[in-house]
Amino acid sequence: MAELKIPEHIAVIMDGNGRWAKKRMMPRSYGHRRGFDVFVSTADVCSDLGVKYLTVYAFSTENWSRPRDEVDALTGIIRDMVSEYIPRMLKKNIRMNVFGDISRFSADTRAALEKSVSASEDCGGLTVNVCLSYGGRDEIVRACRRVIASGNTEPTERDLSEAMYTSGMPDPDLIIRTGGEYRISNFLLWQCAYSELYFTPVLWPDFGKQELMKAIESFSERDRRYGNTKGE
């Protein structure tokens, strides 16, 4: 087996919460709550491994079109669980960012998110980026608007990168998608140009440390050439 290489930046599409709950004849909200627990434990493992950045797709712009009761349950879980996670996050020196348009969330949910970001801004360990009401195309449009508003009429790739939510961060080395689907689903479209992709049928609530290590082992076996031949 190849020497284990720990990615600097891991991104995750956390898919399968609803199906996991349905298999257990439970409401979808039960799966979302379990999924948040797995997110927290995954962040802890990444912190212990020395990963610098973890970006998770928690709520997409398209998720607003789901049934109202599911949306309300999911946003409530986000509010409650983020609040519960703050002490644990600070203890492990984890910093939290929120990517996306959170203006659509309720005032109390926004307050909980803003509190987490503010409380952890001086933490220097793992940075966790939580994508909420996020879409990759929307992020690119917002970045273009920021560049235009600055008066820059001939933007470069670097200019656009600096206008993204991930400004100042490396692009993801590894993007993991759980749940058996084989697509990116509007996630980090600008940043994923050279990311290694890992797909697994495991539903997110069942994605523990062992599954994460499988993904990292797969990443370690890959030869990242970025378009170069490396002497071939």
Distance CA(38)–CA(34), nearest Å, equals 6
Residue of 15, 97, 129, 173 marked catalytic = 15
For residue 28, how many other CB atoms are within 10 A of its CB? 19
Residues 6+ apart with CB under 8 A from 10: 46, 51, 53, 54, 55, 172, 173, 174, 175, 176
Q: Which residue, 45, 46, 44, 19, is CA-closest to 32?
A: 19
Q: Which residue, 70, 14, 72, is CA-closest to 39?
A: 14
Is 63 part of the annotated catalytic residue set?
Answer: yes
Residue of 17, 37, 63, 69 marked catalytic = 63
Structure tokens at 125: 């360990």
| Under 8 Å between Cβ of 57 and 13 | yes
Four-residue CA torsion sign, 151, 157, 132, 168: negative
Return the active site residues.
Answer: 15, 63
